Amino acid sequence: MQISTPEAAPLERHIHVTIPASEVESGVSQRLRNKARSVRLPGFRPGKAPMTLIERHYGSDALMETFDHLINERYSQAVRDESLRPVGRPEVQVEKGGRGEDLVFTAVVEVYPEFDPQVPDATVIRKTAEVTDADVDATIDIMRQQRRFYVSAERPAQDEDRVTVDFQGAIDGVPMAGGDVTDYSVVLGSGRLLPDIEQGLLGMSAGEDRTVAVRFPAEYHVAELAGQTAQFHLQVREVAASQLPEVDAAFALALGIEDGDVAVLRQEVRENLEREAQRISRGQVKAQILDLVVASNHPDLPRQMIGQELERLQKDANAAAGGDLDALARRRVVLGLVLSEIVRREKLRASPAEVTQVIRDMSEQYEDPEQFMSWYRSNPEQMEQAEALVLEDKVVAWLLERVKVSDEAVSFNQLIGRAPTGETNAE
């Protein structure tokens, strides 16, 4: 057995093996004898067919089975003897072989790179935020916005009102197909109707009618209407003003607070925001750590692993829309290699309790958490992913103990990227 490494492919191992013809013949003969004990051939009782006939019928199969056995045996022996860590299955090329001949083959396999993971020599910024009463107020205001309701208003329609309207559209006096709509409700400013129609509804009161000219955009999805100008006759049935619920016992009850205590609601909101702040802070730190790991480590990358990552990314529509898939695949491979090497060297393990907690955390966003957890546990691939998440977090914690960390106090809005009340994000 000889093992070589090509200069152009430092992670490839070419395992050259020659197996004597006598060993091949011994394996073939043993398989034919085993076959002879049970095979049924016309005119012979089981086990009584002559060996020449057995060889004629099953000699080729016995030779292939022997080849498979000897190749797997020698390859496995080489992996053990040389302490190889294969990335995947080998590619085997039989260069010589047959009855009465030596079996000569070469197995080519990629192995994991040998390298020392580098701990980033950098400072990680850990942003922390204290949840204030104003943050609680802002979140409750968002909850009110989500539960806004409408009350009939005896006044002209204005922005953010809900208007119920009948309309009929025509082009050059010819009614449009699908242009006759009855009892349609729309919130002005929501963008659900063409701008000319929404603009025409502004200032109208219940019982009022109006005809407006509406120009369809050149890129309108109905080709025969694109760029056309139509006349829409609008008849307003109702104008309703939006209102927000009061923050009272009824509001608290609607949000699951059993006794309707607003103070309890505020406390729950505060605790949820504090958990969210901690989650976002941990996520930001983790992202920084992983970026630094990629920048600090440059191991040789197995081509097979890059190919597998590219295949996964190409199946992921979100990733495929993100740009350079090859660079993203290489980044993932670097991270996988470094994190796996740290796990191996530090003997990190994911306990069943830790894996269960990860699944439980994921289940909280589902209507039936127990059903989700049961489904998750029944899928071995999903369980492997949960275990990988636990190990990834353990590696990040291990790295955090070895890098410089600088704490920075920020507001809750800054931490989550939300504009303060009354402002908008620049983006």
The kind and range of the H/E element at 91 are strand 91-96
Q: Which structure tokens are listed for 50?
A: 């002559």
| pLDDT for position 320 | 59
Domain boundaries 149-243, corresponding CATH code: 3.10.50.40
Q: What number of other Cβ atoms are within 10 A of residue 280's Cβ?
A: 16
| pLDDT for position 27 | 95
Separation CA 115–CA 339 (nearest Å): 12
C-alpha angle 279/357/335, rounded to 5°?
65
Type of residue at 348: L
Residues in the chain, pLDDT under 70? 45, 47, 317-322, 420-427
**Intrachain domains 2-110 and 265-416 with the same fold:** no
**In the beta sheet, which residues pair with residue 124?**
405
| pLDDT for position 19 | 97
- Tell me the residue length of the chain: 427
Could you report the per-residue pLDDT of 361-393, keeping only the tens digit for each?
899 888 899 999 999 999 999 999 999 999 999
Separation CA 412–CA 308 (nearest Å): 40
| Under 8 Å between Cβ of 165 and 205 | no
Kindly provide the residue ranges of all beta strands, DSSP E only, lying in 60-161, ordered along the sequence: 91-96, 103-110, 123-129, 149-152
| pLDDT for position 52 | 81
Q: Which residues contact 218 (CB under 8 A, 6 or more apart)?
A: 226, 227
First CA to last CA across the chain, in angstroms? 64
Q: Sketch the domain layout of the chain as residue ranges.
A: 2-110, 149-243, 265-416
Pairing of strands 404-410, 123-129: parallel
Q: Which structure tokens are listed for 170?
A: 């025509």
Separation CA 369–CA 318 (nearest Å): 26
Could you report the per-residue pLDDT of 125-157, keeping only the tens digit for each?
999 999 999 999 999 999 999 999 999 999 999
| pLDDT for position 321 | 61
| pLDDT for position 37 | 80
Give the CATH superfamily of 2-110: Trigger factor ribosome-binding domain (3.30.70.1050)
Write the DSSP assignment of 344-408 as a string of letters.
HHHT----HHHHHHHHHHHHTTSS-HHHHHHHHHT-HHHHHHHHHHHHHHHHHHHHHTTSEEEEE
Question: In Å, what is the CA distance from 147 to each residue of 98, 187, 331?
Answer: 79, 14, 43
Give the CATH superfamily of 265-416: Trigger factor, C-terminal domain (1.10.3120.10)
| pLDDT for position 95 | 95
**In the beta sheet, which residues pair with residue 92?**
107
Kindly provide the residue ranges of all beta strands, DSSP E only, lying in 97-228, ordered along the sequence: 103-110, 123-129, 149-152, 162-171, 174-187, 209-215
The kind and range of the H/E element at 230 are strand 229-243
Q: Return the SS3 of 414.
A: helix
User: What is the DSSP secondary structure assignment for residue 113, as one 8-state letter?
Assistant: P
Q: Which residues contact 56 (CB under 8 A, 6 or more apart)?
A: none
